[in-house]
Amino acid sequence: MTTLRLPRFGSLRARVSGLWRSDASESTAIPVRDWINVSSGAPARLLAFDQALLCIVLALLALGLVMVYSASIAMPDNPKFTLYSPTHFLVRHLVSLLIAVLAALVAVQVPVSFWEKSAPWIFVGALILLLLVLVPFIGKGVNGARRWIPLGFLNFQPSELAKLAMAMYAAGYMVRKMDARENFWQAVLPMAFAVAVVGLLLLAEPDMGAFLVIAMIAMGILFLGGVNGRMFLLITSVLIGAFVLMITLSDWRRERIFAYLNPWDEKYTLGKAYQLSHSLIAFGRGEFFGQGLGASVEKLHYLPEAHTDFLLAVIAEELGFVGVACVIVAFFWLSRRVFHIGRQAIALDRVYAGLYAQGIGIWMGGQAFINMGVNLGVLPTKGLTLPLMSYGGSAILMNMIALAIVARVDIENRQLMRGGRA
């Protein structure tokens, strides 16, 4: 009896319509090479992709949707939101998720080479939007901060685009300066100038949290790109000194640091440390298994911005230590997997793709760490959302596009390892 075998990596068409010819002595399979040209604009056939990465991203999005609804369901009780329905924020967040998913599906079809060529223009576009947000009657101010550009159906935050643009630009910059990475004036100084320009625009909003994340992305890519260790330490020292100087010269930033150091002081409990103190109360009430989904008390107008910056506190109160631990493990695994994809790309001599993916890993892991640290009282209060989970249309959109490009990097990596053409 002749055993019929299909090629291990045959295309779907070959599996369905492949013809087998056999005679009395032997059978012969038609050889099929399944490959895509990763440099073309043709849609990729997702025959091999990181399914675990997709599952963890979808799990974080689903949990974020549920917790945003739970954290915002009592908002209409506030006189400020009287006209809102209990599902107002849920519907808006769901629409943002749908837009983000559609944008991610489009982004995953675009070759990485296109993003590499377009990185400088995307960076310039982000700078222009950061300038426009400061213009009166264009930028929208909330609670003393001017960070959004109204687009009708959503408020776009240019700082989120700046994070993605910085990852793209820094990766391309290191590829261009690879031969001069030991030279401070050629490799480091221009990048430091670009970060400084972005930082000045962000501090004018003000948005020190976004500046911190962007600085982390740029510094991380410089370090991973092979910049001299002494120069890296020098830049790090200068950056830390700049942050210390900004805190020292700003009265309200200095007061926030003092409140962070002693949130239970009567001077700060009802002032600068109000959010932090109630966040810690939420963590304490959650205990090990939590109070149950929807049973949070702190979200009842005790904890401000419970559906955005302090979403983790609501998770802690309702799902307890177990829920928070699951979220931490999920973000750790996500960052680790993205770094692995980047390391794999570099091993295949795709330096830009590798550095970009590792920059996104720094973004997701670093921002999640800062948000969790703020909620736990480990770090001073900063206006940074929890990636993929907190309420916010532009943040979700940029997060999904960034991860979609990482998925594209992984698809091209797998294609090259299977004998495809680049």
Give the pLDDT confidence of 165-222 residue by residue, as tens digits.
Answer: 999 999 998 888 877 777 777 777 888 888 888 888 888 887 888 888 999 999 899 8
Which residue carries 């963890």 as its tokens?
Answer: 56
Query: For the CA atoms of 35, 39, 43, 49, what is the dihedral angle to 10 degrees?
Result: 60
Phi–psi pair at 50, nearest 5 degrees: -80, 95
- 1 within domain boundaries: no
Residue 109 CA to residue 41 CA, distance in Å, equals 8
Residue 89 CA to residue 94 CA, distance in Å, equals 8
What residues in the chain have per-residue pLDDT under 70?
A: 1-48, 143-144, 420-422
Domain count, the chain: 1
Which residue carries 């890993």 as its tokens?
Answer: 361
Cα atoms in the Cβ-side hemisphere of radius 13 Å centred on 29: 15
- 87 within domain boundaries: yes
Angle between helices 189-203 and 112-132 (to 10 degrees): 40
Residue 313: the pLDDT is 93
- 267 within domain boundaries: yes
- 71 within domain boundaries: yes
The side-by-side arrangement of strands in the sheet containing 140-142 is 140-142, 145-150, 155-156
- 21 within domain boundaries: no
Residue 246 CA to residue 253 CA, distance in Å, equals 8
Phi–psi pair at 141, nearest 5 degrees: -100, 135
Residue 364 CA to residue 367 CA, distance in Å, equals 6
- 3-state helix/strand/coil string of 105-126: HHHCCCCHHHHHHHHHHHHHHH
Residue 144: the pLDDT is 65
Return the DSSP state at 37.
B
Residue 8: the pLDDT is 44
Residue 161: the pLDDT is 93
- 8 within domain boundaries: no
- 410 within domain boundaries: yes
Whether a cis peptide bond, with omega within 30° of 0, leads into 79 is: no
Residue 286 CA to residue 323 CA, distance in Å, equals 10
Residue 208 CA to residue 243 CA, distance in Å, equals 9
Is residue 379 within 8 Å of 373, Cβ to Cβ?
A: yes
**Tens digit of each residue's pLDDT (9 = 90 or more) over 273-315:** 888 888 999 999 988 998 989 888 888 888 887 888 899 999 9
Q: Who's near 276: CB < 8 A, 6+ residues apart? A: 259, 260, 263, 374, 377, 381
- 30 within domain boundaries: no
Is residue 90 within 8 Å of 389, Cβ to Cβ?
A: no
Is residue 100 within 8 Å of 399, Cβ to Cβ?
A: yes
For 224-289, the DSSP string reads HTT--HHHHHHHHHHHHHHHHHHHHH-HHHHHHHHHHH-TTSHHHHTTTTHHHHHHHHHHHHHTTT
Residue 313 CA to residue 71 CA, distance in Å, equals 10
Nearest in space to 165 (alpha carbons), one of 138, 136, 134, 202: 202
Residue 154: the pLDDT is 75
Share of the chain residues as helix, strand and coil, in percent rounded to the nearest 5: 65, 5, 30
Domain that residue 378 falls in: 52-417
pTM for the full predicted model: 0.84
Going from the C-alpha of 21 to that of each of 2, 3, 48, 126, 301, the distances in angstroms are 11, 12, 29, 59, 73
Q: Which amino acid is residue 196, in one-letter code?
A: A
